[in-house]
Amino acid sequence: MPESIPSDLIALRDRIHAFVEGELRPLEADLDIDALVPAEVRQIVRERSKELGLFGMTQPKSVGGTEAGPLAMVVARETLAAGNSTLTRFIFGPGPGMLARADGDLRARYLDPVLRGELSGAFAFTEPSGPGAPDRPTWAKRDGDDFIVTGKKAFVTGGATADFYQVIVNVDEDASGPGGTAVLLIDRDAPGVSIERAFQSMEGGGHVELRFDGARISKANLLGKVGEGMPRAMGNINEERIEVAASACGMAMWTVEHLTRHITGGHRAGGRLSDREGVRLRYSDLRIETYVARAMLYRTARLLESGDDAINEAAATKVFCTEVLGRVVDGAVQLVGGQALIVGHPFERLYRRARSMRLTGGASDILRLNVARGIIEFNAGRL
Ligand SMILES: Cc1cc2nc3c(=O)[nH]c(=O)nc-3n(C[C@H](O)[C@H](O)[C@H](O)COP(=O)(O)OP(=O)(O)OC[C@H]3O[C@@H](n4cnc5c(N)ncnc54)[C@H](O)[C@@H]3O)c2cc1C
């Protein structure tokens, strides 16, 4: 852990570490890691997480949460990822995400039930591309008190079970109002909405492709205003990017620790792998890269904590930490050898998870373009 973090965050880290090692590890010992985690186990994790003050960290104070800041969330997410437990995904309560600024009727119908865990939403942003893709991104036209929505969304995580979708649409300009991007909250079972295809990605996530065939959606389901779609979609993007970076750093830490145990154990050729200078060189690179990634992660977390504009730094940190994780896991697989490729080996799993992190929340090269644009066009971004 980078030094100079306040004592309450050191206590938080130690509490999480003790929870993972002392309680989650025994709980998951008999679980089939690929099967659905039984409801009673999820319940135990949630209850303990509440008792330990972790559950509410992602939730606003208005609903009884503790709304932790960026630095505390980085400490928590990195420590959890460094524990490499399958149960850590049940620790935090549902956060508001894009619904954070929902008020009035939308707050009552969507935000509050989400925070209570009664409803779940999924984010429908990415458009299909390639052969067969529609010739325009998902669009909406006004019709009286409704929008008529047409198009497809290619990659909606959790879309098969979500109760509603937060859909980015392009509204056509007409005599009754301006055009632009907008966020519509669309119920899964609304007429004209269908799941075209359900699929899994290599890290194990479940997703759907959505289709809108002239779905009639009330204007009451517009989040914010027409024209605010992209800013709303990107509203909590810093948070998401730094979270992914923190998880990447934690996963890299776990990988390096696990690798250390492997290379310092016996090798069939006699002695230990760690006795060979060539292995030490490769191994040291993984440690050096992880060290640099963590230094970057904590600098960006402190900038965000101070309230400074750090949108470019968060994008850069997401790119760097996830790419370091890719190199660390790949290097660890190489040093462990063939057994690391056996399906079910921890490095085989981490390899698949690490790969997807360079695309989720913004593809690396797109974020690189954002970093350059930030400085060249907006004079924002630090070295
Ligand atoms: C596990 C997982 C979960 C996801 N969950 C969701 C979700 O819940 N909701 C959702 O909406 N989406 C989701 N996505 C989709 C994700 O957001 C997109 O995959 C990602 O934004 C990249 O978009 P794309 O796949 O359309 O690739 P494209 O945008 O087509 O880009 C593909 C590649 O082309 C290159 N490229 C593209 N444009 C440029 C450019 N201008 N300059 C240089 N190079 C370029 C880059 O190398 C890029 O990696 C998820 C993806 C994954 C892997």
Q: In the chain, what are the domains?
A: 7-93 (no CATH), 121-229 (2.40.110.10), 236-378 (1.20.140.10)
Q: For residue 202, give the nearest of 362, 36, 33, 351 by alpha carbon.
A: 351
Query: What are the φ/ψ torsions at residue 311 (nearest 5 degrees)?
Result: -65, -40
3-state SS class at 265: coil
| pTM more than 0.75 | yes
> What secondary structure letter does DSSP report for 64?
T
Atom of ligand 1 nearest to the CA of 157: 8
Using the predicted structure, report yes or no on whether residue 1 has a pLDDT greater than 70.
Answer: no
Atom of ligand 1 nearest to the CA of 168: 11
Give the bridge partners for 200, in sequence order.
Answer: 206
Share of the chain above pLDDT 90, in %: 87
CA dist., res. 250 & res. 136, Å (int): 40
Which residues approach ligand 1 with their CB closer than 6 A? 122-126, 129, 155-157, 201, 205, 356, 359-360, 362-363, 365-366, 369
In testing the pocket of ligand 1, which one of 123, 129, 155 has its CB within 8 Å of the most ligand atoms?
155
H-run or E-run covering 171: strand 164-171
pLDDT on residue 217: 98
CA dist., res. 196 & res. 193, Å (int): 9
Rounded mean pLDDT of the chain?
94
Mean pLDDT of 32-58: 92
CA dist., res. 57 & res. 64, Å (int): 10
pLDDT on residue 73: 97
Q: For residue 178, how many other CB atoms are within 10 A of its CB?
A: 11
Nearest CA to ligand 1 atom 3: 360
Nearest CA to ligand 1 atom 40: 366
pLDDT on residue 100: 87
Q: For residue 135, how many other CB atoms are within 10 A of its CB?
A: 4
3-state SS class at 241: helix
> What secondary structure letter does DSSP report for 55?
G
Give, in degrees to the nearest 5, the angle at Cα 125 between 120 and 128. Answer: 125
CA dist., res. 78 & res. 223, Å (int): 32
